[in-house]
Amino acid sequence: MFTLNLHGRLAEYDRPAVMGIINATPDSFYDRSRVADESGFAVRAERMAADGADFIDVGAFSTRPGALPVSIDDEVERLRLAIPAVRRGAPGIPVSVDTFRAEVARVAVEELGADIVNDVSGGNLDPMMFDTVAELGVPYILGHMRGEVGNMMEFTQYEDVTADVLSELGDRLQQLALLGVNDVIIDPCFGFSKTLDQNYELLANLKLFELFHRPLLVGVSRKSMITRVLDIDPADALYGTIVINTLALERGASVLRVHDVIPAVQAVKIYEKFKSVQTGL
């Protein structure tokens, strides 16, 4: 389905992959995803690996609406605690670092051994990010967001949300290609600078993202596009997450970024079985 160059090793994924989320933050929107100590990181990573995760995504800066800003030093220190522990708990599982700061990405890759840089801002929040990723030579998850973390919901004015997101991501892909960065995963970033209806419009039109010929990441786990429709808290949003992940798989998702690994792995297996029988008809 897709390949990634992970520090010189070509990793092949013949089915949609599952990325588990570990938050080294005290204020991420889903409180059960938070971990505070080395032992907790290692245990959570070990559990995710046993459950079938293909990647583990470690973040140390909460991007939820209203989250307090975090200094670069604090973000790095949290990652220094988290990433080595995740490595110990899940040896052999590629680790992505969830950051929009080039300096943090460099430390995570060069010093802590992260394999992938996951940038929800798509390079918009740090002008050095694209150059840094090119120099580091690691795969890059190109997210779509407007504005900054604290004001992104003020930038939801689109003529056509799908067409505009495609256009803006396409421009950034060209910039990356000019720098020699071709190992790119696309993330439309549900919930970032998008209203509730715009999120569902993007979901309905996910197939159009195939025009990039890049893996497509979908991260909707327990987000407000689920909780607001169902009038529930993130803690009760697992079933809604499974529904949207299944719709996303049907529309071409290559990676599911989730808090709950087992349900996502099962969704992939059932979808792959359905697809194989459907193809045989």
- CATH numbers and ranges of domains, the chain: 16-280 (3.20.20.20)
The C-alpha atoms of residue 193 and residue 225 are separated, in whole angstroms, by: 12
* Structure letter (DSSP) for residue 66: T
Dihedral sign for Cα 207, 208, 209, 213, please. Answer: positive
- Spans of the chain below 50 pLDDT: none
pLDDT of amino acid 152 = 87
**Spatial CA neighbour of 9 closest among 89, 129, 131, 94:** 94
Helix 38-51 / helix 261-280 crossing angle, nearest 10 deg: 20
Assign residue 197 a region (left: φ > 0; alpha: ψ between -120 and 50; beta: otherwise).
Answer: alpha
Per the annotation, the verdict on 223 as an active-site residue is yes
pLDDT recorded at residue 212: 97
User: Other CB atoms closer than 10 Å to residue 8's CB: what's the count?
Assistant: 6
Q: Which of 194, 223, 228, 273 is catalytic?
A: 223
Active site residue 269: no
Distance between CA atoms of residues 91 and 85, nearest Å: 10
By DSSP bridging, strand 2-6 and strand 9-13 are antiparallel
Structure-block tokens of residue 195: 């209203």
Which entry of 106, 172, 214, 257 is annotated as an active-site residue? 257
Burial of 218 (0-12, 13-18, 19+ CB in 10 A): buried
Q: What is the DSSP annotation of 79-124?
A: HHHHHHHHHHHSTTS-EEEE-S-HHHHHIIIIIT---EEEETTTTS
What is the CB neighbour count within 10 angstroms for residue 30?
18
* Number of helices and strands in the chain (H, E): 9, 10
Residues with Cβ within 8 Å of 91's Cβ and at least 6 positions away in sequence, in order, are none
- How far is it, in rounded angstroms, from Cα 48 to Cα 222? 17
What is the C-alpha to C-alpha distance for residues 28 and 68, in angstroms, rounded to an integer?
A: 10
Tell me what pLDDT residue 130 has. 98
